[in-house]
Amino acid sequence: MQATTVTRVLVWSRLLRLTHWSLALSTIGLLFSGWLMNVDLLSATAAGEVHYLLTALLLPALLLRLYLLFFGHSTDHISDCEPNTHRLSQAWSVMRFYLTLGKSPLPKWYSHNPLWGPIYLLLLFFLVLSSISGLALLKGIGLIGALSLHDLHHLCYQVIGSFSILHIIAVFAHDLGGSGSDNSGMITGYRIFEVNKMRESDNGATQTIALNELLKSLKK
């Protein structure tokens, strides 16, 4: 007879959560203030000052996240976002969940979403481009050869803005359609997993699941 065991596991480190929310808050503020600078001339000066202040929050968080990406461990590291055969099959299942508007079941994964993990790396790339082009524009440098840094900065704005909207929608959809507690997980660091396993007796005792056993159960 199968028993479903619910276990709560620390997945996201404190530093990763710190960089995630610092990047999230600063990015949303930068997107809004950047938009306001271009559509409302009366508020452009104040919006510009807020824009530059938020840069002081974004840059340290971005540098720390890049450090964790290449020198961190476990879910902090870039290897946790890289696709492989298993993750690619899961990524298609996640896409199918979107295409069917939540009617198709979500797969189980341990840390980074198998579809969004590689996209997250692409987001960091555009955040780096946006930071470099923004700092150059601040110094009055508008061109590098034939490349317009203003156009590059605007392109990054569009990509990052689109990602932010889709990411917020997806996270809430995952919490509604799945069981991984994605929202609270990025606050507390813990995710909830359901593991089906054979049980020898039903004595009501509390069961403990090793991390290796949990990971094996997710790679069906």
Q: Which two tokens stand for residue 32?
A: 């809004």
Residue labelled with tokens 């559509």: 39
Average pLDDT over residues 92-121: 91
Q: Taking the CA atoms of 172, 178, 179 and 182 in sequence, report the sign of the dihedral they define.
A: negative
For the chain, the distance separating the N- and C-terminal CA atoms, rounded to the nearest angstrom, is: 19
Residue labelled with tokens 């450090």: 67
Q: What is the per-residue pLDDT for 218?
A: 64
Q: What is the per-residue pLDDT for 75?
A: 94
Residue labelled with tokens 């790396």: 121
Q: What is the per-residue pLDDT for 39?
A: 82
- Of the listed ranges 129-138, 151-160, 167-176, the one predicted with least confidence: 167-176
Q: Where does the pLDDT of residue 163 fall: very low under 50, low under 70, confident under 90, or very high at 90 and above?
A: very high
Average pLDDT over residues 98-124: 91
Q: Which two tokens stand for residue 25?
A: 């808050």
The answer to whether 156 touches 129, Cβ cutoff 8 Å, is: yes
Average pLDDT over residues 164-173: 91
Q: Per-residue pLDDT for 24 more than 60?
A: yes
**Cβ neighbours for 200, distance < 8 A, ≥ 6 positions apart:** none
- CA Rg, the chain, in Å? 21
Q: What is the per-residue pLDDT for 44?
A: 81
**Nearest CA to 19 among 82, 62, 74, 77?**
62
Q: Per-residue pLDDT for 11 more than 80?
A: yes
The whole-angstrom separation of Cα 29 and Cα 24 is 9
131-145 pLDDT, tens digit each: 999 999 988 998 988
Q: Taking the CA atoms of 79, 82, 85 and 86 in sequence, report the sign of the dihedral they define.
A: positive
Q: Per-residue pLDDT for 158 more than 60?
A: yes
The whole-angstrom separation of Cα 143 and Cα 147 is 6
Q: Per-residue pLDDT for 217 more than 60?
A: no
Average pLDDT over residues 84-98: 92
55-65 pLDDT, tens digit each: 999 999 999 99
Q: Per-residue pLDDT for 93 more than 50?
A: yes
Q: Where does the pLDDT of residue 28 fall: very low under 50, low under 70, confident under 90, or very high at 90 and above?
A: very high
Q: Where does the pLDDT of residue 148 fall: very low under 50, low under 70, confident under 90, or very high at 90 and above?
A: very high
Q: What is the per-residue pLDDT for 206?
A: 44
**Nearest CA to 191 among 7, 68, 19, 20?**
7
Q: Per-residue pLDDT for 207 more than 90?
A: no
Beta partners for residue 7, in sequence order: 193
Pairing of strands 147-148, 143-144: antiparallel
Q: Where does the pLDDT of residue 196 fall: very low under 50, low under 70, confident under 90, or very high at 90 and above?
A: low
Q: Report phi then psi at 19, rounded to 5.
A: -70, -35
Q: Which two tokens stand for residue 39?
A: 């559509």
